[in-house]
Amino acid sequence: MATSSGGNPGASEINGSPGTSPLDTIDEMRSAAKWMLAAAGAVGAVLISGGPLVAIGQVRGALDITLAVLGLAFAIGGVGVAIWYTSDVLVPKLTTPRTFRSAKELADLRRDINAEPEEFLGVAAPPRDGAPDTPLDRLFERQQALRQNAASLVRQAAAEKDPHRREQYQAQLRRVEESGERVGTYVQYVLALGAAWRIKAALQLARRMTMAGAALVIIGAALFFIATASKGPTYVPVVTTRPTPTATATP
C-alpha cells in the first residue's frame, strides 16, 4: 500500500483514492502569514506613535524637513509593502482545471505531475502507451467526458419505454458514475494541491517582499534620525566662582 504521509496518492492504494488532502497545509501557511502580519503591524504602530511626532519638532531647515519626510515615507512604505503581500496569502485561491493549466506559479507542479502521473493520479492516471505527454489534460478531459456520458444516459433512460433496456441504461449509468466518482476524487485532489501550491507561492513572495520592506524601514529610519538629530546651538557652561574675602593683617 502506498504511503499517504506526503499527500500523494499511489496507484496501489486499496481504496483507489488519494490520501492526505493538500488543503491541510494551507492553515499552517496562513498561520505563518498571520505572524508576519502581526510583526509588520507592530512596526507600523511604532512608526506612527508619539515618539517620531515629538522628534520631528527638532527638524530645522528645508534639507532636514525633506530627509524627515522621505524617512517616514520609506519606513511606512516598507511596512505597507510587507502587509500588502502578506495579506494576499490569506485570500482564498480559486483553482479550477482552467486556472490549473494557465497559472504561472503552477508550472513546476504541472511539470512534476506530467513527468510521474502515477504518483499523483494513482488509478486515474492515463495509460502511457500512445498517450501524449499531457496526463493532466487527459485527466480533466476524461472527467468531462464521463459527465457528458452520464447526462446522456440519464436522458436515454428517462426516454426509454422498454423496462429491460431502461435497466440496461441504468446499470451502465451506475458504472459511469462510479468511474466519474473515482476520477473526480483525483481531480479534486489535484485542484486542492494546486490551491495549496498557489498559497505556498504567495507565502514565498510575501517573505521576499517583507525582507525588501524591512530594508526600506531601515533606510527610512536612518534618514529620519539624521534629520531629527539635534542641531541647535551648543551651550557652553559658564563657571562662576564666589569671591572669597581677602585676609587682612592683624596688627
At 249 the pLDDT is 52
Q: What is the pLDDT of residue 244?
A: 56
> Dihedrals φ, ψ of 105, to 5°?
-70, -10
DSSP string, 202-250: HHHHHHHHHHHHHHHHHHHHHHHHHHTS--SPPPPPPP-----PPP---
* Region label for 122, one of left (φ > 0), alpha (ψ between -120 and 50) or beta (otherwise): left
- Taking the CA atoms of the chain, what radius of gyration do you get in angstroms? 35
Report the C-alpha gap between 210 and 143 in whole angstroms.
41
The pLDDT score that the predictor gives to residue 51 is 57
Specify the pLDDT at position 2: 36
Give me the tens of pLDDT residue by residue for the chain, a chain 251 residues long.
333 333 444 433 434 455 567 777 888 888 888 888 888 878 777 766 655 655 666 666 778 778 878 888 888 888 888 889 988 888 888 888 998 988 898 989 988 888 888 888 877 777 766 555 588 888 898 889 999 999 998 898 888 888 888 899 889 989 999 988 888 888 988 998 899 999 999 999 988 998 888 888 888 888 877 777 655 444 445 555 565 555 555 55
Residue 231: count other Cβ atoms within 10 Å of its Cβ.
12
Give the amino acid at 97: P
Locate 74 and state its grid cell: 520609506
CB of 227 closer than 8 Å to CB of 95: no
121 contacts 139 by C-beta, under 8 angstroms: yes
82 contacts: CB under 8 Å, gap ≥ 6: 36, 40, 206, 209, 210, 213, 214
Distance CA 81, CA 79 (A): 5
Contact between 100 and 194 under an 8 Å Cβ cutoff? The reply is yes
Which pLDDT score is estimated for 16? Answer: 45
Cα three-residue angle 126-131-136, rounded to 5 degrees = 50
8 A C-beta contact, residue 177 and residue 143: no
pTM beyond 0.85: the answer is no
Q: Quick one: pLDDT at residue 174?
A: 92
Q: Residue 130's Cα: distance from chain center in Å?
A: 38
Nearest to 42 by CA among 224, 212, 210, 227: 210
Q: For the chain, give every domain's residue range.
A: 24-131+191-227
What pLDDT shows up at residue 148? 92
- Indicate the SS3 state at residue 60: coil
Rounded to whole angstroms, the maximal C-alpha distance in the chain is 155
